[in-house]
Amino acid sequence: MRQIAILFLLFFTLLGQAQNFEDEWTGLFSYVSVKGITHGNDQLFVGAENAVFTYDLISQEITTISTVNGLSGELISSIYYSEGFGLLVIGYENGLIEIKIDGEENILSVVDILDKPTIPPDRKRINDFFEYNDNLYISTGFGISLYDLSRLEFGDTYFIGDFGAQLNITQTTVLEPYIYASSLGGGVRRAEVAND
């Protein structure tokens, strides 16, 4: 009986000394393969394959954003910072978009492109972001999608291939009165920006 009591006390003593290391996890990610660099509010934001790190130009402090502290995607393909809205936008090869709002811990996951059944998985890649008139022009493997930065929701999607087909758009830019879109295999397309 005495041995059972000693084992019982020993068990609960060890159980009471168990520690919670949940908040002490660190991410070991490769920052060698950089996918994009953007800047704003005295910070540089660097998107590597599977994590983002920021460099504060004033304090010279480096911080990381990874799956340990909020990201949920796998392979980052594009990154953009909207200084006017204080939003860090991260695009992934599978179509996922994540938005980190300045001053907030949580990261918004935008799954609209990722979950779109009419777009083949190999066409969902986020290639580039371009901001114009409070909209984010998202260059993708299927065309161009507009994302309203003030409301954090999608607007129109444009399939600008021949006869409205999907076309892999690598980048967009605006030189008024036109919007230009470069593509793989389709050259450079142009339309009046007023027509969006």
158 in a domain, yes or no? yes
pLDDT score for 69: 83
Cα–Cα distance, 124 to 146 (Å, whole number): 14
pLDDT score for 82: 98
User: What is the value of pTM for the model shown?
Assistant: 0.84
184 in a domain, yes or no? no
Contact (CB, 8 A) for 171 and 139: yes
Look-up of token digits 């190999």: 122
Average pLDDT over residues 55-83: 93
The DSSP element (H or E) to which 12 belongs, if any, is: helix 2-16
Average pLDDT over residues 89-115: 96
At 155, the amino acid letter reads: G
186 in a domain, yes or no? no
Range of the structural domain that residue 113 is part of: 30-168
Which two tokens mark 180?
Answer: 């230009």
pLDDT score for 109: 96
- Comparing CA positions, the residue from 160, 163, 164 lying closest to residue 180 is 160
Torsions phi, psi for 194 (to 5 deg): -65, -25
In this prediction, residue 33 has a pLDDT band, given cuts at 50, 70 and 90, of confident
Q: List helix spans (H) across the chain.
A: 2-16
- For position 164, which CATH number holds? 2.130.10.10
164 in a domain, yes or no? yes
At 158, the amino acid letter reads: Y
5 in a domain, yes or no? no
- Comparing CA positions, the residue from 55, 95, 56 lying closest to residue 78 is 95
pLDDT score for 196: 53
Task: Check whether 16 has a pLDDT greater than 70.
Answer: no
193 in a domain, yes or no? no
192 in a domain, yes or no? no
18 in a domain, yes or no? no
C-alpha R_g of the chain = 23
pLDDT score for 57: 96
Which two tokens mark 141?
Answer: 């493997």
Instruction: Domain count for the chain, please give it.
Output: 1
